[in-house]
Amino acid sequence: MKEDGSLAEPIMSWMDVRAYETYIEDENVCYTGSTSGYLTFRLTGEIKDTVANAYQWQFPSDMNTWEWSQDEEYFKRFNIPREKLFDLQLPGTILGTVTEQASRETGLPVGLPIVATANDKAVEALGCGLIESNVGLVSLGTYITSMVFGEKNIETGQNFFTNLSNLPFKYLYESGGIRRGMWLISWYKNIIGEEYARKATSEGFVVEDYLAKEAESLPPGSDGLLTIPDWLAPATQLYRKGVILGFDERHTRGHIYRSLLEGIAMTLKNSYDAMCDELGIKPDKIIVSGGGSNSDLYMQMIADIYGVRTVRNVVNGAASLGAAISVAVATAVYPDYETAVSKMIKQRDEFFPNAAHHEAYNKINAVYRRLPERIENMLKSIYEGLH
């Protein structure tokens, strides 16, 4: 940002490889930080940001102290002058209030408090009520991941990374995820065409529920049709591709839909299990959030695959609720996060695993979990041949 708060360069997506490169000195840049810091400045005039957005891969933050690092050697690696960084505040505190200029530009009332929250997954976890270690969370968004709650910063995780929670000095452990996760369903909806969508609408269904009708009576494993949901390759592994394997004459539109859902769920479960095994925990409940949790078929499928009670809350777009909980704490509507969570989050319903289906999925997954490794060399060869 320039001194007046305007952008010196366009905002970078977290998926942009440049966001992880060393800062290059630029005399036009007066401040550097996250999007939330930029918005805070524009709304309040304050050079402040939530510490929970100061990712350690991009900024010289200390995840133990929740401040900028005092280790000068570590700090120098980022090449960001200390004076060009924002002042950090804990989630659940007031960063500033809406200025008269911001009020004119946005319509927000002058003096409205602007509250620090956290990064997207952390604020979503709070909005789901993930504040205990015996519960897991599956976040079904465009990027899909799973999380569990923790009390300390673990720097040596092999099957997870440690994220700052929306609760100050608490942590979230996040498993490997799936890029373009539930986007796969939108992709499939688009390729099956408008005629199918019109037919679904004419019978009073949204497309996803219409597809679910075709998929719900099919057996676990979709009659041998297996999907590896790798539709968006990481920048460092461009050879990776999504795969649908095992077609024969039995397979229908409903089989493909079910296989997509199963592939997402089994891929994530394998990452979730690896994380929990490393942490030495075994959560007895999973909260599911995001648009995918609207599907009864998928909620039951996740319960069957994971083998534990699976719940969804009344508000499943949980990031907005997590932000509201932070506001409630910052403005003393409730005295602490625990009270706010108990008052503001309500469970909608729950699903219990079908024992026979869980056993079937365990057998299928014993084969499925080895597939990505087995086809890796083939995908590399295809990529090299095309490039």
Q: What are the residue ranges of helices labelled H in 35-78?
A: 35-44, 72-76
Do 36 and 156 share a structural domain? no
- Is 84 among the domain residues? yes
Picking from 133, 127, 120, the residue whose alpha carbon sits closest to that of residue 285 is: 133
pLDDT for the residue 210: 94
CATH code of 106's domain: 3.30.420.40
Structural domains counted in the chain: 2
Question: Measured between alpha carbons, how far is 116 from 186 in angstroms, rounded to an integer?
Answer: 33
Task: Check whether residue 77 and residue 152 sit in a common domain.
Answer: no
Residue 6 lies in a domain: no
pLDDT at residue 39 in the model: 95
Last residue of a domain, one of 115, 133, 149: 115
CA atoms of 55 and 187, how far apart (whole Å): 31
How far, in Å, CA of 184 to CA of 352, rounded? 26
- Regions of the chain short of the pLDDT cut 50: none
Q: What is the pLDDT of residue 38?
A: 94
233 domain-assigned: yes
**Can you give the length of the chain in residues?**
387
Burial class of residue 244 (count of CB atoms within 10 Å of its CB; 0-12, 13-18, 19+): middle
In this structure, the answer to whether residues 162 and 304 fall within a common structural domain is yes
Residue at 353 is within a domain? yes
State whether 105 and 130 are in the same domain.
no
Pair (155, 66) in one structural domain: no
123 with 111, same domain: the answer is no
Domain contains 175:
yes
Domain residues for 102?
Answer: 17-115
Q: Say yes or no: 91 and 227 in one domain.
A: no
Among candidates 176, 170, 168, which has minimal Cα distance to 153? 170
pTM of the complete model beyond 0.85: yes
Of 115, 132, 163, the position where a domain reaches its end is: 115
Exposed e or buried b per residue across 337-359, where buried means at least 16 C-beta atoms within 10 angstroms of its C-beta: beebbeebbeeeeebebbeebbe
Q: Residues 37, 86: contact at Cβ < 8 Å? A: yes
If asked whether residues 34 and 101 sit together in one domain, one would say: yes
Helix extents (H) in the chain: 35-44, 72-76, 100-106, 120-128, 183-192, 194-202, 207-215, 253-279, 296-306, 318-330, 337-344, 355-368, 371-386
Are residue 196 and residue 337 in the same domain, yes or no?
yes
Residue 7: inside a domain: no
58 and 123 fall within a common domain: no
Looking at 93, 115, 137, which one is the last position of a domain? 115
Dihedral angle sign, alpha carbons of residues 118, 351, 246, 252: negative
Residue 372 lies in a domain: yes
Residue 12 lies in a domain: no
Identify the sign of the CA torsion 19, 24, 26, 31.
positive
Structure tokens at 269: 């479960």
Q: Number of H helices and number of E strands within the chain? A: 13, 15
User: Do both 232 and 360 map to the same domain?
Assistant: yes
> Does one domain contain both 76 and 124?
no
Question: What six digits make up the tokens of 63?
Answer: 């995840």
Q: What strands lie across the sheet with 171-175, from one edge to the other?
A: 160-164, 171-175, 144-150, 135-140, 285-289, 309-313, 347-351
